Structures are given as structure tokens and as C-alpha cells.
Amino acid sequence: MMDLSGMSVAVIGLGVSGVAAARLAAEKGGEVYVSDSRTEDAVATRGADLGDGIEVDLGRHDIERMVDADFVVASPGILPSSPVLQGLKRRGVKWISEPEFASRFLDASLIGITGTNGKTTTTLLVNHLLHASGVTSAAGGNVGGGLAPAASDLARLKERPEWVVLEMSSFQLSGVETFHPDIGVITNLSADHLDRYRSIDEYYSDKSKLFENATEQSVWVFPADDDEVRRLSDGVPGRRYTFGCGTDSSAFLSEGQLILNLEGDIEPVLQRDELPLIGAHNVTNALAAALTARLAGAGSGGVVAGLGSARALPHRLEPVADRAGVLWINDSKATNVAATRSALSSLDRSVILLLGGKDKGEDFAQLAEAMRGRARIVVGYGAAGSRAINELSEALRVGSNEEEESIGGPRASPSLRLVEGSLEDVVVSARNWAESGDVVLLSPACSSFDMYENYEHRGQHFTLLARAEV
């Protein structure tokens, strides 16, 4: 295990990951410097809580101080285009991500999970299935909202688990050097974070760094029908297993049954209607998790029991209220178009969709077909609300069947409405428009930063509003 005695570590950012990295570095004997450009009370409190042995610098980043550090660790919230990282680049100073730093102290087998959607659900499901099988494991990484700790916190555990299951964002993968998962999982790939990346290809390039140190002993779990994953993984060494459609996959759905095919050994898992999670995408997440857990040594009985006891995670197609025949679902984690499209396809009731937030540069017109016959009303709100409604209006007009629309047929388009004001105003409007049998679905396809600190904060507020007595 690495000892940092006599070495210096500079940590950029005082978020959850930065704080965890600083504590790990100090615990391993390093001289630790932490900086953050922010000066808010919450940031100052986190800095003060680190203790006297760690130097904290608020309101600036001292690049000269970092140049001489043995390790520079960047939190995932620090943009590659930020002055501090650009300044380090000009000086020829390399930086690493927090999970990369933590992995050097993790004395356990590693499962690394990335993808555009479904990462958190799959990560926590894998951990749950391993526990249900009696395999010791710990989950963490990019799992937000306090659902699991940062990777550096896992590296500080006194008792070593057999497996560490890490969710890895593209931001975290962009700073890897030696990170090497024993089992690597990609859930899916689609456009995301185009407010941070210059192109989709740049985003995919960071995702592909999961393969950076692949060997013939690596084990990979991929979606069977994702062309981008197939393209990026072409030529990557190691054993491959797939999940998704078709009996040729290692994990698939057939006649309402989740099934594993491990080296030709067909293993029924459970019936689809026995899985307590909403949506076809969660069937896919369950298949990926079951396959990964079995490859990590989980028993078939534990996998069956674990899937049967799984519960919806906060802010991910989470039912939060059922009033007067109207079901309210919090899907605040759906911060991109693909996630919202998946949420819509998972519901078999009439939907009032709440769509908006901070624009991430995606085309809302991609939602048009998924809305037909499912969404009765689409409510645009927040900074991106007006653009979303305008793009959907054009897309639905171009793709409409006039005869079907005129009679309200099964492919009828939704009513598009813009609500200006707060999320409370949006919820009040949705409540007034809702009818028995409807679902009011917060699945915004946008980030939350126009109104909220993060998607968790947005989801929590929506839940309170949905449950409020009116």
C-alpha cells in the first residue's frame, strides 16, 4: 500500500470528492494543500472541518503551489477549460481524477461502471446483489446525493471488502492513468454534457478511458445493441459479455423472464413482473447488474433474492405520491434527452411531463416520437422551457398525422404549455390539469442549475410539492 510520507498532494475543489481525497492523502502521511475558487459559507465550513493539518486556500488556486506537488488531484466539478487546469497544462503539470488517486490505495478487486444513463442504479444493484450472496463489497465513486461515498472514502475503510464497485463519470475517467477495473461495465452511450464537451466524440473519448489499462485478464460487460459502445471497445483485450436483446446475449429477457447465459449454462433469474422497478430501462439495468454480480462470484440464489428486494432509487422514476388517482413520479436524475425518452417509454398511463431546467445543448425534438400516444400535456419551464416547447412544437407539427390528430387517436400529440415561474408554479399548474389515471412525471432532460444546487435538491423539492396538502 502506498505511503505518502514526505510527499505533497494538491487537491483542486472542496466538493465531496475533493474533501475525501484530502482526508485520504493526509491519512497516508502526505502534506496536503486544498484550493477552491469559491468562498461561500458551506465551502468554508468544509475546509475548516478538514482540520489543522491540511492547508486550505479559498477564493483562488495557487498554481505555483501545485507545480511542486507530487500529486495534483482534480475534483470532477472542475471543468477542463477552467483557468486552473489550463494553467497547469501550460506548465506541463499532469493532474489525476479523485478515483484514480483513490484506486492506488484500494486493496480490493474493482468493478468500474460508466455510461450515459443507468450508472447509479446499476452500481448500487451490483453491490446489493453481491451482499445478498454473502460477498463483501462496497459501492461508491460518482454516486450522488449521499447514496454512496466517494472512492477516497472507500480507500480509508479499515476492513477490506472483496469487491469495490465504483461508478465512474466521464469527468472522472478523463483523469485516469493507472485505473484498471477487474470488471468494467458500460450501461449505454448517448449524447450528454454537451455544455461541457465540445463534441459528442470528445465525451465518448473520455468514456473510453475505462479501457485505458485493459489486459487479457480484463472482464467487460457491454450492451448488446449499442453501436457506440461496440465502436469504442473494438480491439480492447479481455473477455466480453453482453446484456440486452436477443438470446445470443449473456443476459436477456425472453417471454417475460430475465435469463442469464453463462458460458452456455442457461440460468433463469426471475419473472419481469417480479422485479419491483418501473420501466424497460430498469430491466436492462437489472440484467447488467445480475450478469456483473455473477461474474464477480455472486450465487444465483443471491441474485434472485437481491433483484426481488430491489427498490427504486431516489430521483430515478421514484413514485412519491398518489392522490385522487394521479401518480406523481420524481425522475429528476433524468438530466438528458435519452433518460427522459426512456422514462416516457416505461409508462403505460397518460403522462403530464414536466420538462426544463438549465440547457445542456441537446435537441428536444428527439423526444417528439416518444411523446406521441403517451404524453397528454408537456409543460416547459425554467431556462430551457421556451426552447423545449418551440422545438417540440415544430417536430410534432412536421411529424403529425392530421387524420389521427383530429380524432385524438393513439398517436395523438400532446398539448404543449409553457409555465413561467418557480417549480411550485409548475406543480400547481400540473395539479390543476391532471385527471384521474394520469402520471405527473418530473423528467426534465436538463440539469437543475438554473434553479437548484443539483438534481437531488430539485427532486426533493418536487417530492415535497407533490405530497403537499392542497
Residue type, 451: M
State the greatest distance between any 2 C-alpha atoms of the chain, in Å, as a whole number. 76
Reply yes or no on whether 188 is catalytic: no
Closest CA to 129 of 328, 269, 310: 310
Closest CA to 377 of 366, 386, 389: 389
Q: Which of 28, 61, 119, 360 is catalytic?
A: 119
- Beta strands 326-330 and 439-442, pairing class: parallel
Q: How far apart are CA 42 and CA 14, in angstroms?
A: 10
List helix spans (H) across 234-375.
280-295, 300-308, 337-345, 368-371
Reply yes or no on whether 207 is catalytic: no
Other CB atoms within a 10 A radius of the CB of residue 234 amount to: 7
Q: Which of 142, 282, 330, 336 is catalytic?
A: 142
8 Å CB contact between 364 and 394: no
Q: How far apart are CA 39 and CA 26, in angstroms?
A: 23
8 Å CB contact between 75 and 15: yes
Reply yes or no on whether 209 is catalytic: no
8 Å CB contact between 191 and 364: no
Please identify every residue annotated as catalytic.
Answer: 119, 142, 193
